[in-house]
Structures are given as structure tokens and as C-alpha cells.
Chains A and B, each alone.
Chain A
């Protein structure tokens, strides 16, 4: 059990290629932090720097009270779950779990006990004599988890561990990993490009873009108050609609937008914040032509073009409305649901 402190961490590869810049994250003991971002944003590099698989070229990394910048991976007291599981194919499941313990010179009885405990916790007890190739994807995933937790490390590192599973299994394993992590109370750093995985699993979420942190916060903080245009577009599905502020100013009376600063030139609107109804008092009214209706069971997605503007807008409704494509629809929007941004800096302005 330990906290992890990243102080101004950076990574520059040979040839002056920058991968990670000025990352400051304090992970509390027992906290689950999810690093999320598009591919190439440096999230895996950052994780591998914490693991010791990549050298740290700038900043300080502490696990617990120790500075571990130059320590070997084995000496950092961490365990990692790899995207392809990285199970030793020539060893049985038992030996896969026991390998790290044997290397650390634990007594045989202690190894047996820990492997049995982990196997029971992950329900892989009956596979201990099998080789990894005789297991299904989900079972391999459990073995990889088991290999991490038998070591009883200070921290777990997960590198997109669910991306090789099919959708149904992914949801199931997501829940299991989160439950396990809460039960063990082990500090965890989890990398994913899947924003749903990130939102559902994280205590706190770190959105990375181009090797820099865009925003850190709880999932709901990031969702309800994105600090940058990038986070606004990245978190949430369907993505937040971005409309020019000038367009909105032409539609509604000036006092309706009084709370929006003058330097805001981009307004974000969550798809679910638009309601299919004429505006009530103090609400903003918008109308548009329906291009496509996507029913999705419990909800529906409406693709529209708003009057007088050439922007594609998506609206999410908690039901499937009885409307036909090509029709012009009236929407209402509460004034406090606007997310004003400054386009050039990409920052939120209010």
C-alpha cells in the first residue's frame, strides 16, 4: 500500500522526440486513477515510466516515500497487467502466478498459500495445471490479474487490460477489476482509451492529450465541468456539441446570454441538455431540421442541422420520439447548461 507522486514528470526520447511533458499527479493510497486519452497521447508511456520499463528523463517519481526514478522495475514494488496479458506460455497457470514469488525467494508453503488464495479469489482454481493456451480470453485475463495480486504489491498498473476482450466480457471484467481493487484497497493506475471504462472505473480521471494533462478530476467533475475544449469533446458519448457563440447571440435576447463572458466564442452543449419542447420562460429556444433518427432502445440520438447554421448537432433523448426525418423540431435549453470556451486557447472561460 502506498501513494504515488509524480512531480513534473517528462519523457524525451532520443532524437528529441517529446512523449510526456510536465505531469503532476498525486495518487492517494488506495485510489484508482485512470489515465485516458486518444492513441499517441502518452498515457502508456507514462504508465511504463511508473513501471520502470521506460526511463524517466525529467521530474521525480515517488512510490510511498521513496524516489524510484532509477530503480529497476522489480525493486519498485509494483505489479503490472499487460494488454496482451504477457502470460508465460510454457508455464502452467500455477507457475505463472508463482514465478514472481519464487524469484523473490519466498518459502514454498507461502507461495502455495498465496497462489491458492489468489486463484480462489479469481475463480481460476481449477485451471492451475493448465497452460495459458488452453484458457479462454477471460480466463487469461484473470490469470494476468492473479499474477499481479499474488505479489501483494504497493500498486497495480493496468495497461489497457480489457481491450482484447469482446464487449460483453469487457463489461463483466470491468466490474470485477473494480470490485477487486476496492476490496484489496491497492493503489492503482489504469490506462485506457475507452472513455466509458474510464468514467465507470475511476476514483479520479486524468485526461491526457499530446503528452500533457488536460484535466484531473472525478468522473462527474470532468463530465459536468470540462476545463478544456479537448476534454469536452473527449468525455461523453455522443460528444458534446460545439456551436459558435455568435450564432447563439443572434438567436436569443442578449440578457439570456448575460452570464456568458464576452471572450467566449465557442459554446458547448451536451446532447442530453437539449429537450424536445418549446422553450419555457428564461430558456433558450433552438430549432432545426431532423436529418436522422437513431433509436437505441431506452434512448435515441437525433442528428440535426440547426436553422441558420451549417453545424451538425446531436441530441440525446431518454425516449424514442414520434417524429419523421426532414421535419423541423423545436428544442429548449436551460441557460446554465452552456459550456463557454475560448477557441484559440482551448480553455473554459466561465
Chain B
């Protein structure tokens, strides 16, 4: 477990948006996709995904439709709405700014001050 990082608050939504931005996915698929693109580094308890998904649907960032998966199971597939795409872009930029700033800040040496 030590190689898996706990999620910072607020990052789950961004990860979900990212996962879905790559193509429509059902809930379990989103989990797999997040695991895959993060190199299994980010830990999400499986059930915790759903409150986040419903919140995003209600905010109008995701839309959901029932469909059939490749192994013939009925599942609800999520995809980004236009608003979701905009929000994803904004949040990504915001995250990058914070991450860069944090990286710079944490890399600072005493002689640079």
C-alpha cells in the first residue's frame, strides 16, 4: 500500500473528468482507467466513486446513459457534457498551476531566498 498515494480533497472529481474525457465509461471502467493512467498509484475506495459521479451528473458536468458492456452486462455509461469539458480544461490548468507552484516552492534552497 505504501506505493499508493491518498487522494487530496477535490482531486477525485478531476480524475473522473480526465478518465471520462478519454471516452465513455461505466463506473467500474472509470476506476480501472484511473488505475491505468495513474500507474496504479492513486487509491480510491470503489464505493466512494459513486457519490462523486452523481454529484458531477447533478452539476451537469457528466451525462449518463444505460448501455451494454463488452461482456454483455447492463451498465450505466458516463461521458462529458460541454460544460464538463470546459470545467475539465479549467481544473486541469488550475491544477497544473498549483502543482508547478508547489514544485517550485518545495524545491527552493536557502541561498535562493
Q: Are A and B physically bound partners?
A: no
Instruction: Name B's A-contacting residues (CB within 8 A).
Output: none
Instruction: Name A's B-contacting residues (CB within 8 A).
Output: none
